[in-house]
A and B are shown apart, each in its own frame.
Chain A
Amino acid sequence: MKYLYYPGCSAEATGKAYDASSRAMMDKLGVELVELDDWNCCGATSYFSVRELDSFAIAARNLAIAQEMGDDELCVICNACYTTLAKTNRYMAEDPHVFEAVQGALGAVGRSYDGNVKVRHVVDILINDIGVEAIAERVTRRLTGLRVAPYYGCQFSRPMGSFDDVQVPTTMDRLFEAMGADVITEFDAKTDCCGGMMMLTREDAALRLCHELLVAARQYRADVIVAACPLCEMNLEGYQPRVNKAYGTDFNIPVMYFTQLAGLALGADPKQLAIDKQVVSCASVLAAIPA
C-alpha cells in the first residue's frame, strides 16, 4: 500500500519524532508514505483569525498539489492539520462562495482543486484501511499488561467526527487493544483540551488543563499516555516539570506519540522511532514490555 503523506510543520521541529515514528510504523505495516511535494503550512487556527478564506485557500494549495500528483487521498498525522484540511474540504462542499473564492485564489498561482482529495487521519487509515486484525498479526512485541491511556485531544474527531465518535473516540483504544495493551478505555479526559498554543500566551491556563489531564491519567493508573497530535504531546510531555512546579505535584508520566508505541509493538527499532528524543524518559515503558 502507498499513501500520499502530509507531515505538517511540527514534523520538522518539536514533532520530529512523530514524523519519524509514523514512517517507521507504516514501514513495518508494509505501507509506503510518499511525502506531498512542496507542501505548505495548513494555516492551523491562525489564518482563520485573519480571513477565513485565506485559511481555506492556503490549506487547499496542499490539496491541489495532491490532485496534481494524481492522488485522491492524503494521509495526515497532526490533529490540527487534519481538522484544517478536512474543514477546507467540508466548507468548499457546503458553501459555493467558499468554493469559488478558493478556486480563484488557487487560479492566481496557476493551480486548481476540485474538492475531491479525501483527507485521512493516520489513525483512520490504520483502523479502516489496514484493519486491527491485520495489524494484530504483525505485532512482534505485545504490549501485555501495559496501562495505556489513549489521549485523542480536541481536533481528532471534533468537530466533524468523520471516522470516529465526536465525543468519545475509540479508534486508538481498539488499535492498542489489538496490540495486547491494557487500554484505559474509560479514560475520561481523552478528548479534553491540552491548552494548545496557549502554553505560550497564557501559560497558567494551559498548565491547568495539562494538570487536569495528568491527574486523570494518574487516577486511571496509566503507565503511558499516547498522543495523536504534536502540540498535545509537547504540552503534556514537555511541560510536566512546569505543571509540577505550579501545582506542587510529582508527575513523571511517559508521554509518547501513539506511532512510537505502535511502532515498538510492530518491532520497529526504538532509534528509528526516536524514542530517545522524548523529554520524559520512556525507559519504564520499554522495560515493561518484553522485547
Chain B
Amino acid sequence: MTELLTTPQAKELHRKFVEDVMGMPSGEKINICQQCGTCTGSCPTSYLMDFGPREVIAAFRAGMIDKVVQSNTIWLCTSCYYCTVRCPAGIKITDLMYELKRLAIKYDLAPKQSKNPAMTKYFIDSVHKHGRNHEVEMMARFMLLKDWSLPFKFWQLGLKLFAAGRMPLTARNIRGKDELEKISAYLEAQEAKAQ
C-alpha cells in the first residue's frame, strides 16, 4: 500500500496524519470507508476539488496523503458537514479536512495561488489583535494583499453596507485580548514538548 510513500516528507505527512486521525474520537472509522461516494455527492464544492472527499480517503489508503495536502481540496471545504452526517461509515470527514488544513499550514504546503490560507491567517491575526474578528479590517487586508479585484467587484455592496452602518471602520478591543495569544502560546509549547 505504501509503495507511493517515496519521499521522506510523504512518509512524515502520512505518519502525522495517521497519528492525529487515530487520536480523534472514532477516528479509526476511516478504516471502514466503503468508497460509496455519498460524501462527494453531497459536497457543495467537490466539483472544484482536485480530490473529492471520497478520493481523499482513497488517496490516503494509497499512501498519497502528501498529494492531498498540497491539493486545492481542503481549501474548498466550507465546513457544511453534509459529508459527516451522511457518511454510512460514521467517518467525521469534516474533521479530516481540518486535519489536512493543519498539516498544510504546519508544513507550509498550501498551494500558493489559493487565497484561503491567507484568509485564515488574517482572520486569526485580527482575532489575536482585538480579541474579536474585525470583519472590515480583515477584508481590507485581504483585498489589499491578496485580491485587488475585490474592491471593484464589491464597491456597490460595500457602499450599501457602509451606509447601513454594517461596516464599522474602527475595531473595539476586548480587555482580555492578550489572553488569546497566551492560550495559543501555551498550546504551542505543549505540542513542542510532546515532540
Contacts and interface: CB of A to CB of B under 8 A. Distances in A.
- Quick check: do A and B touch in the complex, using CB within 8 A? yes
Interface of A: 9-10, 12-17, 38-41, 43-54, 57-58, 61, 91, 94-95, 97, 101, 104-106, 108-109, 111, 154-155, 158-159, 161, 166-167, 192-193, 195-198, 200-203, 205, 209, 238-239, 241-242, 276-279
Contact of A17 (B86, B123, B166): B166
Interface stretch (B8-16, B30-38, B57-65, B155-163): B155-163
- Top 10 A-B pairs ranked by shortest CB distance? A154-B80, A158-B81, A49-B101, A193-B80, A109-B179, A108-B186, A48-B98, A277-B164, A201-B115, A9-B133
B191 A51 contact: yes
Most B-side CB within 10 Å, residue of A38, A111, A201: A201
Given A12-B168, A279-B157, A38 B79 contact: no
Contact of A51 (B119, B147, B172, B187): B187
Interface of B: 23-25, 44-45, 48, 75-76, 78-82, 84-86, 92, 94, 98-99, 101-102, 105, 114-117, 119-120, 123-124, 127, 131-136, 139, 142, 147, 150, 153, 156-157, 160-161, 164-168, 172, 174-177, 179-180, 182-188, 190-191
B139 A154 contact: no
A192 B133 CA distance: 25
Given A52-B99, A195-B78, 11 more contacts: A41-B132, A41-B133, A46-B127, A49-B120, A53-B187, A57-B184, A158-B84, A166-B85, A200-B142, A201-B114, A201-B116
Given A40-B176, A192-B44, A46 B120 contact: yes
Nearest to B188: A51
A96 to B, nearest CB: 10
Contacts of B127: 40-41, 43, 46, 58
25 contacts: A9-B132, A9-B135, A10-B135, A12-B168, A14-B166, A39-B174, A41-B132, A44-B123, A46-B123, A51-B191, A53-B191, A54-B187, A61-B183, A108-B182, A108-B185, A109-B179, A158-B81, A158-B84, A193-B44, A200-B115, A200-B119, A201-B115, A205-B76, A241-B157, A279-B157
B142 A238 contact: no
Contacts of B85: 158-159, 161, 166-167
A238 B179 CA distance: 34
B78 A109 contact: no
- Specify the main secondary structure of chain B where it touches its partner: helix
Contact of B45 (A51, A105, A198, A279): A198
Contacts, number: 192
A40 B25 contact: no
Contacts of A45: 79, 98
B101 A48 contact: yes
A106 B179 CA distance: 9
B187 A57 contact: yes
B133 A44 contact: yes
A54 B10 CA distance: 26
A198 B78 contact: yes
Contacts of B165: 16, 277
